[in-house]
Structures are given as C-alpha cells and as structure tokens.
Chain A
Amino acid sequence: MKELIQANHLSKTFKLSAKQQKIEGTKEKTKTAVNDLSFTAYEGEIFGLLGPNGAGKTTTLRMLSTLIRPDSGDAIIDGSSILNNAEDVRSKIAFLTTDLKLEDFFTPNYLFDFFSELHQIPKEMTAERKKMLFGIFGIDKFAEVKVANLSTGMKQKVSLAISLVHWPNVIIFDEPTNGLDVLTAKVVTDFLLDLKKQGKTVIVSTHIFSLIEKVCDRVGVVVDGHMIVCDTLEAVKNGLSLEDRFFEIYKESVGDRDV
C-alpha cells in the first residue's frame, strides 16, 4: 500500500496570552498542543484521529493543511512537503473544519463557482461536479439562498461540498459530523465511505467513538498532544469496544506521565 500521508515528528507550541492562561488554569506561558506526533495514512483508507477535547487534533490537521507551520517536524502529503511545497499541498487536499467559514453574503451556488475558479477548475467540470455534490447533499433546494439564511447543518453540507470542488485525492475532515442531526450525520458518514470506495484517502478527527468504528480502517489515539497508539482499528480495540479500550489507553497514558 502506498503511504500517502506521512506525518513526521510534528510539534506545535502556542504562546498563551494572560487571558488564555486563566482559561486553561495554568501559570505556564506556552502550551504544547502537539508533541512529536508521527503517523502514516495509506492510500485508499480512512484514518481516524481520536482524542478528547484539547488533545491537539485540530492543531495537527491545521498543520497538515498548511494553515499553520509546525515548530518542528514535517509531513509529506502525496509527495509534497507541507513546509516546502505548501501551495502544492493545498491543491492536493480538501480541508474541512468548523472554523473555516463561508461568507454569509453569498449563495452556495456562487461560492462553489468562486472556489472552483480559485482552484482553476474548467467551467464544464465545475458544473458537472456541482451537480453531483449538490445532488448528494441535497443542496439543490437551497443553492440560491444566502449562506446567512441557512441552518448549521445546511452550512456544514455546503462547506463539505465546496471543500471538494477540486476533487482531490486527500481529504482531511475535522469533526465532520459535529452539530449534525443523525440523518445528516448518516449522509456524511455514508459519503466518507463512498469517497473511500473511489480510492480517496481520508483523515477524520473526532471524539465520537461510533464514527471511528463505523468508517475507519486505522486509528491513532491522541492524548495531550502525544500519539499514544496508532494501528488498525481491530488492533487498537484489542477485543474490547473502542470506548472501553480508549479509557484503558487513556488511564495508562495519563498514569505514565504522572510518574
């Protein structure tokens, strides 16, 4: 199997403002969000990053998508380095996260065309993809409604469709089902499986065990910026349910570091 995404010893430390220090309840001036984190995702699989709130999942995915630079380490995505070929990386991936917002003022239809143009997609292909993606997520019905007037779920669907205008091989989704009702969440999980069928490589981050169990081939458990375990779903579960196994792993790792 081809190694499509290789994260090598990624680390990221943030400076904390006085306000953030208070919120985090710490006296330290910095927070290491991601600490020497490595993993590999193979072509055509769905890789899950599982971890509690604040574990560093979003930070890791932001580094992979070149929005922020790691302090140390590198990642190679489909042959391009996130440090040295950021633009190449951006044209090879789709990145979806809740803090990438769409402009309220525009309609899904306009935004799809706009982002297609930024990705330099030919007009006919744009139309074709729009038809397909808007069909899958039922966006047709509100394609001409301004984003401001859409519900959270509708916005999430539009963001998803728009992140895929260039139909890339690598798809990175941060909490793709957050805030969605069960019906919409099912549309999204089914879509992830569909992408896999088409040979795409998908990375999802989540703290929802069922999502991982449903779609992931391999999973990495992140706690406090560290990659604790990274293996196939079956190997990680080790005969237990993922939830039970997670608590075991979590206890071990926190215990380890307390010593």
Chain B
Amino acid sequence: MYNAIITIFKKEIARFFGDKRTAFSTILLPGIMIFVMYSFMGDALSNQFSVDEDEKTVCYVQNLPADDTLQGMLQSGFTVKELSSEKDLEKTKEDIINKEADLCVVFPENFEKDVHIDRSLVSADNTPEVQIFYNSSETASSAAFQTMTALLDEFESLLANSFDVNRQKDGVTFDLASDEDSAASVFASMLPMLLLMFLFSGTVAVAPESIAGEKERGTIATLLVTPAKRGQIALGKILALSFIALLSGASSTIGTIISMPKLMGSASDNLSGSVYSVTDYLLLALVILSTVLLLVTAVSLISAFSKSIKEAQTYCSPLIIVAALVGITAMFGDGASTNTVHYIIPLYNSVQSMVQIFSFEAVQTPILLTVLSNILYSLIGAFGLTKMFQSEHIIFSK
C-alpha cells in the first residue's frame, strides 16, 4: 500500500540538504564550534594553572643552607641561583616587582643549626623564619610561591618525622579508582545535559522552519489538498526532522568527545569512551533516538500552534530552559535515580538513563521504560499533530 510518509520524508530531506548553507550550519557547524570552543577553553585553563613545564622557574636564594636534602628538594622544583650580597637581594626584589623574576627566598643565616634545636626548649619567637618574596599578580610567580611553600612544609615535616603517609612509591597503587570509574564520573555528570541541549538545539533549528514556516508561507495548505492522509504527512515530517536533529546532535556529541580530553586537561588521561560495552552504546542509542523523537514531536506541536517561525522559537525557549535544568540534575546527587516510576517522566527519564549508562550502572528495565514511554508520548504527539493538520483554525490562523 502506498504511504505518503516516504514521499514527505524524502521531500523534507531534499529540502534540508539541498540548502548547503542550512545543512552546514545545522549539522557540521555545531560540532566544529564545540570542538574549537572546548579546545580553546581547555588550553586556556591549562595555561592558567600550569607554568611551562620544561623550564624550571628560577629561584633566587639568599643564604642557601648546605643541607643536602633541602638542596635536593629545591633543585627538583627550581633552578636555584644563589645571591651573594644584600645589594643583589634588593635588585632581585625590584625584578620581582617588574615581573622579571618570579621568586626569591631568604633563609636566616644559621638556618641549619637553628632548625635542629629542640623546639620544646626555646620560645616560639626564636623559630627561624624563611622569607619568600613573590608577586601575586603574576601567575608564574604565584605558582612558584605555592610550590616553594609546599616544598618547605615538606622539609619541615621531614625534620620532625613521626610517621609517613603513602610513602611507598613502587608496587602499590593507593588510588583504587579504575579507569572506568574516573571516566564514568566525568561523563556521567556532564554528558547527559550536553547531549540533551545539543539534541534540543538541533530540533529547534529545523522543526519550526519546517512546520511553522510552511504555515507562514502558505505551502502546507497545498499539501493538504492532496489525498495524502494527514497522519502520514505528520509522521513523515516528524521522522525526517528527527533524522536531521539526530545528525546535528551527533555532530555536537562528536565535537564534545574529541575535545573532552583537552577540556579536562590531565584529569582526562584515564578518560576514554572505549571503556563502555556494546550494550551500553546500544542502550544509549535507543535512549537518544527516543529522546529525539520526543523533542521533535514536542517542538512540532509548538510550531503547529505558532503563526510564524519566530513565534515558535519564542515558545520553545522556556522548554529549553526546563530541559537544561533537568539536565543539571545529572550533576547532583549520587548516581541515577533508583525509583522506576521516575523513568516515565519525559526528559528526566532520558537524563537519568544516560547517567546510568555513563556510570556503568545501566539497568535494562528503567532504560527500556524510558525508551518505551518516550515513544508512546511521541505517538500521542504525532496524533495531536495530525488533529492539528485537520484543523482549519490551526492551518489558516494568521
């Protein structure tokens, strides 16, 4: 039996891909933008927090103690340069002000001897004081100051060593988190919201144009005087728009995944998508597909109500905010909801299902419930759209 769904589907796809500019800006651009943006953000972040690693910061030191341990520690973090006179010290401080030098450490003259005096016998005022000069308005200088402070603290604790924590470096792993877990926490908290937003923006980019736009331009009426069934026209449109929204969502997602390592910096060393199983990916695909169907149907209904593309997009914005808020729920609480009933709440169910999948806790029942309820809602929506296509008030409202 002939079915207008295919004819309508083909036309929508031809319309979309025939217009190279729209196709580029809806499908490729989001992915590229996200990649560029995230990579840039990632680079900016890592520049902010790390000084050039190859080159050690030069540290000027007055009265460098002869203690081997201390010297070794200093040299592991800095290129140590000794200052010989009071005049040199003043000059170095000047340089730090002008950001030409980063750090200057002044040890008291009898540092070595004084540190070994039993503290319990002398008053606190006599504790030797190490002075570190730095410039907090310079990132490199701040970082050097912190490294130096930490270094000296460590040295201080060495002097009065009572016990060690996690000293053994070889053979024992103290951080017991697996690769999977660390990837999981990052993915689980960020991706559901990002994915939802990408899918949504893809949908809003195409559905209002195809439905409110056809209404606005009077081309939908031409379609409706043909014997094609309204329901088939509605379904053909929903399926074609879902396909396009899915492509757009996929592009954004790929952009995110390949820029994620840059964004997360060294935290992403263990972060790779390959730790998920085939079942995980399959479930994810189902969740995404059904979510897109739901979003497209919802936006199509809104578009059919609206008189123009602009109006449709205006009505969509509160919905996007709601979706963003729902997406944020993935970042709070520990793990996905365990209440099965939650998995019939649209959008929330998709987000929670994705949290489950990304955190290796995928349970099939709630996820399938999510998929089925999304499909059910979409069918109801498609039925509503059919009814709207039959209504002259909707089609001819100007």
Q: List the A side residues contacting B99 at CB < 8 Å.
A: none
Q: List the B side residues contacting A87 at CB < 8 Å.
A: 227, 229
Interface string of A10-35 (1 = CB under 8 A from B): 00000000000000000000000000
- Tell me if B's interface is mostly helix, strand, loop or mixed: helix
Q: List the B side residues contacting A104 at CB < 8 Å.
A: 217
Q: How far is the CA of A119 from the CA of B392 in the complex (A)?
A: 22
B219 close to A95 (CB less than 8 A): no
B317 at the interface (CB under 8 A from A): no
- Tell me if A's interface is mostly helix, strand, loop or mixed: loop
A101 close to B18 (CB less than 8 A): no
Interface string of A60-90 (1 = CB under 8 A from B): 0000011111000000000000000001101
Q: How far is the CA of A80 from the CA of B299 in the complex (A)?
A: 36
Shortest Cβ distance from residue B214 to the other chain A in the assembled complex, whole angstroms: 8
B122 at the interface (CB under 8 A from A): no
Residues of B215-268 at the interface with A, using a CB-CB cut-off of 8 Å, are 217-219, 221-229
Q: List the A side residues contacting B395 at CB < 8 Å.
A: 67
B2 close to A105 (CB less than 8 A): no
Query: What is the number of contacts between chain A and chain B, taking CB atoms within 8 Å?
Result: 58
For A117, the closest partner residue in chain B by CB is B7
B19 close to A100 (CB less than 8 A): no
Also in contact, A101 and B217, with CB within 8 A (given A68-B396, A106-B15, A114-B7): yes
B225 close to A105 (CB less than 8 A): no
Interface string of A98-120 (1 = CB under 8 A from B): 01111111100010001101111
B226 close to A101 (CB less than 8 A): no
Size of the B side of the interface (Cβ < 8 Å), in residues, is 24
For A114, the closest partner residue in chain B by CB is B11
Shortest Cβ distance from residue A103 to the other chain B in the assembled complex, whole angstroms: 5
Q: List the B side residues contacting A102 at CB < 8 Å.
A: 219, 222
For A159, the closest partner residue in chain B by CB is B222
A105 close to B18 (CB less than 8 A): yes
B4 at the interface (CB under 8 A from A): yes
For B396, the closest partner residue in chain A by CB is A68
Q: Per a CB cutoff under 8 Å, which of A100, A110, A114, A117 touches B225? A: A100
Q: How far is the CA of A90 from the CA of B228 in the complex (A)?
A: 9
Residue in A87, A88, A99, A118 with the greatest tally of chain B CB atoms within 10 Å:
A118
A119 close to B227 (CB less than 8 A): yes
A105 close to B15 (CB less than 8 A): yes
B residues in contact (CB < 8 Å) with A: 2, 4, 7, 11, 14-15, 18-19, 214, 217-219, 221-229, 392, 395-396
Can you sample 19 A-B contacts with CB below 8 Å?
A: A65-B225, A67-B225, A67-B396, A88-B227, A95-B225, A99-B218, A100-B221, A100-B222, A101-B218, A101-B219, A101-B222, A104-B217, A110-B14, A114-B7, A115-B226, A118-B7, A118-B226, A119-B227, A120-B227
